[in-house]
Amino acid sequence: MRTLSAAFWLGLKEIASLLRDPVLLFLIVYSFSIAVVSVARGARMEVNNAAVGIVDEDGSSLSRAIAAALLEPRFQPPIPLQLDEVDEAFTLARSTFVLDVPPDFERDILAGHTPDLGLAVDATAIAQAGSGAGYISQIVQQEVATFLSLAPDTTPPAFTLAVRTAFNPNLDSQSFNAVMQMVNSVSILSIILTGAAVIREREHGTLEHLLVMPLRPLEVMLAKIWANGLIVLAAATFCLTMVIRWFMAVPIAGSTGLFVAGTALYLLAVTSLGIMLATIARTMPQFGLLAIPVFVVMNLLSGSSTPLDAMPPILQWLMQASPSTHFVSFAQGVLYRGAGFEIVWPQMLAILALGGVFFAIALRRFRTALFA
Amino acid sequence: MFAVLGPVLLMVAFGYGISFDVENVAFAALDQDQTAESRAFVEEFRGSRYFAEQPELVDLADLDRQLQAGAIKVGLVVPPDFGRDLRAGRSPEIGVWIDGAMPFRGETARSYAIGIAQGFGGRSAREAGLDDRSAAVPVSIETRYRYNQEFESVRAMVPGVLMLLLVIVPAMLTALAVVREKETGGIINFYVTPTRRLEFLVGKQLPYVGVAFVSFVLLTLMAVFLFGLEIRGNLPTLALGALLYVFGTTAVGLVFSTFVNSQVAAMFGTAIATTIPAINFSGFMVPVSSLEGATPWIGRLFPSAWFQIVSVGSFAKGSGPGELMLPLLALAGLALAFLFLAALLLRKRAV
């Protein structure tokens, strides 16, 4: 009880010192608002607004019809190119696709010659190349068929395919990105805020002040965890309800309360991790160099940017030790698929267990660091 | 030590970890027919390297549950009497459920699923002696995947990771170096001596340009010897681009250091402010040409988008100094611009 009350009062001091740092406050607000919105709106992973160049060596009504059929929002209006401009367009990444309509294309089509149409794809644009090339091929075939006004085939197909997309029918990556960026911000902020709070006290020598006061390491650490954790939790809740759901009008499937509860568990794990890293590093630059690889790996390999099962098995296995992997899977389940507690409890349990381990290690190291 | 080791570790993690290769997508089937035809259809998916089968579904509720838990990404529902209707030419309908929670993944899984189903359809049509309808349109589209025929993520990712690591760490270290002096009071030396602003800044910047260039060399060696990439373009051009780039990214760090007073804020600020343009607006994840609104301009005003072109160009596209003149000039210009901006913002007296 005494521990809790000491931790409570010490935590208020933490919050007060954070509130006095305007830059830090601005950064917290920024990473949960502007960062989330701009990433979600600007960077889309599906084939969207793709840049297509077209080398029209035919100049026929058919080639123009094909160019006109590449429609927004999936494609930008095609940029006319000369043959010798194609390489430059690829090198400077101005076009991701270049369609080459050969001379006499329309005439050959009418004559039934099956001419070759060239489609060059910049395959270093991994996210768009495969699906985009598929869409363009479909569009070309459709346009040629319309041009020849092929009678619709009346024989029924062998079977039909009813493709339904669950949870995000339009496969719109905006909602995906917004939530994942928020999750990433939670990890980054918690590690940096708590870790830096420890390092700053050490560099300023105020950690010694705490030491001579009748406080135990556990109390100091709990104070840092609850104070910084609460701030991040409040910011994340604000981000989910106001920025994502209200401002961006992104539909959120599941329960906000469940998400907040899971986030609180996650915060225990990441704030402990922040303290743990702070006990390893001696100075702020060292802490930065230690923390950055940790949270970048935690974010990028957690399944929030690319799916976990596309990674080598050993890495998938190693990432199970990162609470972010479970948290991302929890957040995706709750917020995209509307999963309830009965589905996501294994992830919550994993987060709690890892949080417990991190907390124990951090406390041990924190004690030795204090009394060293 | 940390400064060089960190990037090396990250390169390993990214090079192996970030993958857009869609393989082994977890799927499960609900075969309500259990005939030779329905099994042949499911077999098509089983045989594909893109899909990995999970235990068969019991009923539709099970399908919902598995999708919701994320245990499967694709669910197939073969209706009762599928085989009989297929033989009778009654066009039975197969249900394909895609988990759209991860849109990029969903889009690719959908096109693979449709492709496999069409393959099955074409074959069963031919077996039944019907025409394959896809041959009806007299056009052949020759798709050439340039620069990365094998379509391996690593070829596109590793040059991008190089770009990423040469911005985050150098910018942060440089910002910290200046702010640290503010916190510890060492900056008084600068205030009281007639050191000029540019001299002070460049003096702070140069060691980190050196450190960053060393990590460039290491990372490039890793790209070649560990990940098996070849430099198809011109190595001196790549090195020149990297040098200009790290001048630019350290200058970005200097700019941050001028208006931030605590090391926490410097570290945090540079981390957030550099990772977002470097990951999202540089062409690393999405081509800059596809960005919308103000974001392509944020991208172009930040050195990363230009070095991404140089890096991918030199590794994958075989571009030389001629083709890369524009990005190199842009990198040089931005490096100078950020340095002068920092000099303008740096006040000679502490507030």
pLDDT for the residue numbered B134: 46
Residues A294 and A315 in one domain: yes
Mean pLDDT computed over A66-83? 89
pLDDT for the residue numbered A250: 83
pLDDT for the residue numbered A126: 76
**Cβ pair A297:B275 closer than 8 A:** no
- A227 contacts: CB under 8 Å, gap ≥ 6: A11, A12, A14, A15, A18
How many domains does one find in chain A? 2
pLDDT for the residue numbered B270: 85
Encode pLDDT of B6-35 as tens digits: 788 788 877 777 766 667 788 999 998 888
- What residues of chain A lie within 8 A of the CB of B117, using their CB? 161
The β-bridge partners of A101 are: A56
**Cβ pair A163:B110 closer than 8 A:** yes
- B89 contacts: CB under 8 Å, gap ≥ 6: A156, A158
**Cβ pair A118:B142 closer than 8 A:** yes
Alpha helices in A70-150 (DSSP H): 86-91, 105-110, 126-147
Residues A69 and A12 in one domain: no
Structure tokens at A314: 């050993």
Q: Does some domain include residue A167?
A: no
Asked whether the beta carbons of B201 and B339 are under 8 A apart, the reply is yes
Work out the minimum CA distance from A251 to partner chain B, whole angstroms: 12
- Domain end (from A150, A181, A208): A150
Encode pLDDT of B212-224 as tens digits: 999 999 999 999 9
State the pLDDT confidence band at A5, using cuts at 50, 70 and 90.
confident
A97: enclosing H helix or E strand:
strand A97-101
A56: enclosing H helix or E strand:
strand A52-56
* Residue B348: exposure state from Cβ atoms within 10 A (0-12, 13-18, ≥19): exposed
What domain range is A135 assigned to?
Answer: 52-150
- ipTM for the predicted complex comes to 0.75
Angstrom distance (rounded) from CA A192 to CA A190: 6
DSSP result, A188-255: HHHHHHHHHHHHHHHHHTHHHHHHHTT--HHHHHHHHHHHHHHHHHHHHHHIIIIIIIIIS-----S-
Mean pLDDT of chain A: 84
Structure tokens at A96: 């991701």
pLDDT surpassing 50 at residue A311: yes
Nearest residue to B9 via CA among A3, A360, A297? A297
The DSSP secondary-structure symbol of A112 reads: T
- Threshold 0.95, pTM exceeds: no
- In the Cβ-directed half-sphere of A299, how many Cα atoms lie within 13 Å? 24
- What residues of chain A lie within 8 A of the CB of B91, using their CB? 156-160
Residues A263 and A296 in one domain: yes
Instruction: Name the residue type at position A348.
Output: M
Residues A113 and A188 in one domain: no
**Cβ pair A127:B124 closer than 8 A:** no
Angstrom distance (rounded) from CA B7 to CA A10: 37
Q: Does some domain include residue A163?
A: no
Residues A229 and A253 in one domain: yes
Residues A89 and A229 in one domain: no
Angstrom distance (rounded) from CA A275 to CA A324: 16
Using CB atoms, pick whichever of A137, A171, A337 lies closest to residue B68: A337
Q: Does some domain include residue A159?
A: no
Residues A140 and A200 in one domain: no
Nearest residue to A145 via CA among B133, B143, B132, B136? B136
Q: Which of residues 124-163 of B touch A (CB under 8 A)?
A: 124-125, 128, 130-131, 133, 136-149, 151, 153, 155-157, 159
Q: What Å distances lie between residue B132 and A156, B114, B126, B177, B215, CA to CA? A: 12, 16, 7, 68, 56
Residues A109 and A189 in one domain: no
Residues A184 and A275 in one domain: yes
Angstrom distance (rounded) from CA B71 to CA B84: 31
For tokens 């905006």, name the residue.
Answer: A174
Asked whether the beta carbons of A331 and A236 are under 8 A apart, the reply is no
The backbone torsions φ and ψ at residue A321, rounded to the nearest 5 degrees and listed phi first, read: -80, -5
* Residue B105: exposure state from Cβ atoms within 10 A (0-12, 13-18, ≥19): buried
The backbone torsions φ and ψ at residue B140, rounded to the nearest 5 degrees and listed phi first, read: -115, 130
Q: Does some domain include residue A155?
A: no
Residues A38 and A57 in one domain: no
- Domain end (from A150, A184, A215): A150
Structure tokens at B198: 């540019």
Structure tokens at B339: 């340095």
Q: Does some domain include residue A39?
A: yes
pLDDT for the residue numbered B350: 47
Encode pLDDT of B280-315 as tens digits: 888 887 888 888 778 888 889 999 999 999 999 999
The backbone torsions φ and ψ at residue B164, rounded to the nearest 5 degrees and listed phi first, read: -65, -45
Q: Does some domain include residue A256?
A: yes
Work out the minimum CA distance from B265 to partner chain A, whole angstroms: 5
Q: Does some domain include residue A164?
A: no
Beta-carbon pairs below 8 A across chains A and B: 382
Work out the minimum CA distance from A306 to partner chain B, whole angstroms: 6
Whether the upstream peptide bond of residue A73 has omega within 30° of 0, thus cis, is yes
Residues A14 and A61 in one domain: no
State the pLDDT confidence band at A156, using cuts at 50, 70 and 90.
low
- Domain end (from A88, A115, A150): A150
Residues A187 and A146 in one domain: no
The CATH number given to whatever domain includes residue A68 is 3.40.1710.10
Asked whether the beta carbons of B30 and B76 are under 8 A apart, the reply is yes
Give yes or no for A102 touching B (CB within 8 A). Answer: no
**Cβ pair B138:A166 closer than 8 A:** no
Burial B286-298 (b: 16+ CB within 10 A, else e): bbbbbbeeebbeb
Encode pLDDT of A237-292 as tens digits: 999 888 888 888 888 888 889 999 999 999 999 999 999 999 888 888 888 888 88
Asked whether the beta carbons of A146 and A134 are under 8 A apart, the reply is no
